[in-house]
Amino acid sequence: MKSQLSSDCGRGLFITVDGPSGAGKTTIVRHLAQMLPAKGEHVHLTAEPSGGPIGKLASELTETVTGHALACLYAADRYHHVEHEILPLLRNGHTVISDRYIASGLVIQRFDGVAPQFLWHLNAEARRPDLAVILEADPEVIASRLTERGPHNRFQHTPGSSYTEVEFYRQAAETLHGAGFEVFKVDCSSRPPEQSAAIIRRQLTQLPARCEVLTG
């Protein structure tokens, strides 16, 4: 029998998880990666910025480069990430989960004043995921998680940034949905991360039929 999430046409599933800092992306993708593999299934966990040359450069420059230049750098990393890491794995039938992808590109550089339309055009040709998960959460909850964990970047230092970020992700989800992406929102304010991962796992079984066997 074929395993649960593998592809009959030699193409794996591509799942992306985006959302405000502190919503629980990194925690949830780890749970999801543990939950997904069926017999013989390969699940590859990746993230953006990627570990490739452009991703490393983008990471190094995030504190000092701003606006359009940084948006282009992150978009360049995204296209390179797809071509050199994600696509080869999908072609081998692997499931790929990315912690941050297009939605982050539509949101984070807005903190530097870059227009949403510019960000959309920059990202519009990146490979579409089979499921674009957007984590939602109460801004107060994620602000307190960030205070406990500590901010990861300069965008999180502005007071009230969690409120702005939650609203920007809501708009990004609308943009992606409007462009025909399979968008799935999960509220992570109060449920434990493993429960959010289980909800995403269940949603994968509801995807419109392609050639995957999703017998859950």
Ligand X SMILES: Nc1ncnc2c1ncn2[C@@H]1O[C@H](COP(=O)(O)OP(=O)(O)O)[C@@H](O)[C@H]1O
Ligand Y SMILES: Cc1cn([C@H]2C[C@H](O)[C@@H](COP(=O)(O)OP(=O)(O)O)O2)c(=O)[nH]c1=O
**Window 116-155: contact mask with ligand X (x via CB under 6 A):** -----------------------------x---x------
Residue 59 as a binder of ligand X (CB under 6 A): the answer is: no
Residue 12 as a binder of ligand Y (CB under 6 A): the answer is: no
Compute the C-alpha angle 74/78/80, nearest 5°. Answer: 115
Residue 31 as a binder of ligand X (CB under 6 A): the answer is: no
Residues from 28 through 67 that contact ligand Y (CB under 6 A):
48-49, 62
Which of ligand Y, ligand X, none is residue 192 near (CB under 5 to 8 Å by kind)?
ligand X
- How many CB atoms within 10 Å of residue 38? 16
CB 48 within 8 A of CB 122: no
Q: Environment class of residue 200 by beta-carbon count within 10 Å: exposed (0-12), middle (13-18) or buried (19+)?
A: buried
| Nearest-10 Cα torsion for 136, 139, 140, 143 | 100
Place of tokens 């543990």: 34
Residue 164 as a binder of ligand X (CB under 6 A): the answer is: no
**Window 84-103: contact mask with ligand Y (x via CB under 6 A):** ----------------x---
Question: Which residues are at the interface with ligand X (CB under 6 A)?
Answer: 19, 21-27, 145, 149, 188, 192-193
